[in-house]
Chain A
Amino acid sequence: MDVFVARSGGLAGIRLTWHVKVDDQPDADDWFVLIEEIPWDDVPAAPAEPDRFTWDIRCEPAEARHPAAGTTDPTAAEPNPAGPKGAEPKATEATLAERQLTGPWRQLVDRVRETTEPQREAPRAPRSR
């Protein structure tokens, strides 16, 4: 299982991403328990808060690494020769306003930030039309 976290928005408009390979963690079982608790389909609408961060959280099975629907993040595109296994869970993803980042969401994000350093990425380069 891989966990991807992206923080965008904010007054500075600077994007940060974190990536944790759960299988490589010494406490991988704890991670799986925590990820099981995430209410992926229960993200209530939040009022717009100018300049506050937006959090994108995505978990994917390590064996079937392909960009999840609705994301353009290329960081996951890493070919895996093992190929997909039938019983693996599907990738799950949610986008939360920062004030929604509570409970297991918050625990997962805090844990990711404690485990690994963020990558700073410029948003996509301006493209001419």
Chain B
Amino acid sequence: MPTIVPPYLLDRIAETAGTRYPLAAEAARRALLREPPARLGPSSPGLPLTDAYGLPSALPDAPSTPDRRISDAQGTERLPGRLVRREGERATGDEAVDDAYDGLGDTHRMFDRVFGRDSIDGLGMPLEATVHFGDNYDNAFWDGERMVFGDGDGEIFRGFTDSLSVIGHELSHGITEHTAKLRYQGQSGALNEHVSDAFGALVEQYALGQDAEAATWLIGEGIFTAEVQGRALRSMLEPGTAYDDDVLGRDPQPGHMRDYIETVEDNGGVHLNSGIPNRAFALAARRLGGFAWEHVGRIWFDTLTSGELGEDATFAQFADETVRQAERRFGAQSREAEAVRDGWQQVGVLAEAGQG
């Protein structure tokens, strides 16, 4: 069984996170008890581990083996741009290049070690990204082959590689394209967006060793400049509250089916209505507590890869499938299945208790 939490993190969390993240500390202690001692690393608990050069290392655990290729569009909109950093090459000193490299590594590691999926196709395909795309380009996207990141305009948006949840979001679009293929329009498109937010958030939580209680559930924290009145692009837990700014306006995301937005723009509001499943996911995760990738993450990954989901799946069909997958993995009467069902009921996607 693959180690879900890097042992170094368990160590550190158990030792030091007690006051700030009591649940994480507790969970880490429990997980450490299950770990064979050999996995706990060479140093005594609480002491930083060191790498081959005797320097404190951020990632002493056995890493996954991504194949990253970062290119630089040098301010143009031409793809792929100039290849500037390949797997195993040292940091370039260009922050966007190195942040993309590190973020793809973190994302690859979570999918590989938690869900057993090696890269986007499950077969170790290269993770390709282009940074410095366009002139003051206020966006990041997945073009079907690679992740593309703009530098932002410097007034509202900083560089889009500044947020690990954004990097995880983009890579997850690739995974959805290779698994459930949710069509990027209307409800299935909002689910496509939701899946990217969900796994983007989990990548960040996994890297930080945060449990569901400690997690921010924000997508794109650190993307706005200090001028903007806002914390992030989106809040999974409280859709509609991520920003409220003179220039940007208010975060328009709904968090309940009664507020579902019908629009022709944005492929039918895929970045708006994703707030509804986002909230269902975060509510279920918080109700279960502990590390979200261990329960709702697994259930959602099972849903994505089950082959049972139509490409045009509606919110209700997706919700039913998550409940089925929760029952399959954790048991029909499990608290996991109950929490997932309850999350969907709270956002008005599944009917209230009483009927199945």
| A binding-site residues for B, Cβ under 8 Å | 6, 8-15, 47-54, 56, 70, 72, 99, 120-129
- B: number of interface residues (CB 8 Å): 43
User: Any chain A CB within 8 A of the CB of B115?
Assistant: no
With contacts A51-B142, A56-B265 taken as known, whether A11 is within 8 angstroms of B160 at the C-beta atoms is yes
Q: Contact: B266 with A9, CB < 8 Å?
A: yes
Residues of chain B with a CB closer than 8 A to A49's CB: 141-144
Q: Contact: A12 with B144, CB < 8 Å?
A: no
In the complex the two chains form, what is the Cα distance from A9 to B274 in whole Å?
13
Residues of chain A with a CB closer than 8 A to B247's CB: 120
User: Any chain A CB within 8 A of the CB of B250?
Assistant: yes
Residues of chain B with a CB closer than 8 A to A127's CB: 259, 261
Residues of chain A with a CB closer than 8 A to B61's CB: none
Out of B252, B269, B271, which one reaches A10, CB within 8 Å?
Answer: B271
In the complex the two chains form, what is the Cα distance from A13 to B185 in whole Å?
14
In the complex the two chains form, what is the Cα distance from A11 to B254 in whole Å?
16
Q: Contact: B143 with A52, CB < 8 Å?
A: yes
Min CB–CB distance B143 → chain A (angstroms)? 5
Residues of chain B with a CB closer than 8 A to A128's CB: 258-259
With contacts A48-B267, A49-B144, A123-B261 taken as known, whether A11 is within 8 angstroms of B139 at the C-beta atoms is yes
In the complex the two chains form, what is the Cα distance from A126 to B257 in whole Å?
10
Out of B173, B249, B258, B263, which one reaches A51, CB within 8 Å?
Answer: B173
User: Any chain A CB within 8 A of the CB of B264?
Assistant: yes
Residues of chain B with a CB closer than 8 A to A13's CB: 233, 252-253, 266, 270-272
Q: Can you pick out 13 interface pairs between chain A and chain B where the beta carbons lie within 8 Å of each other?
A: A8-B266, A11-B169, A12-B139, A13-B266, A47-B144, A48-B184, A48-B267, A56-B265, A72-B263, A123-B252, A123-B269, A126-B252, A127-B261
Q: Contact: B263 with A11, CB < 8 Å?
A: no
Q: Contact: A9 with B267, CB < 8 Å?
A: yes
User: Any chain A CB within 8 A of the CB of B248?
Assistant: yes
Q: Contact: B143 with A126, CB < 8 Å?
A: no
Min CB–CB distance A98 → chain B (angstroms)? 8
Residues of chain A with a CB closer than 8 A to B157's CB: 12
In the complex the two chains form, what is the Cα distance from A52 to B130 in whole Å?
14
With contacts A122-B252, A126-B254 taken as known, whether A51 is within 8 angstroms of B265 at the C-beta atoms is no
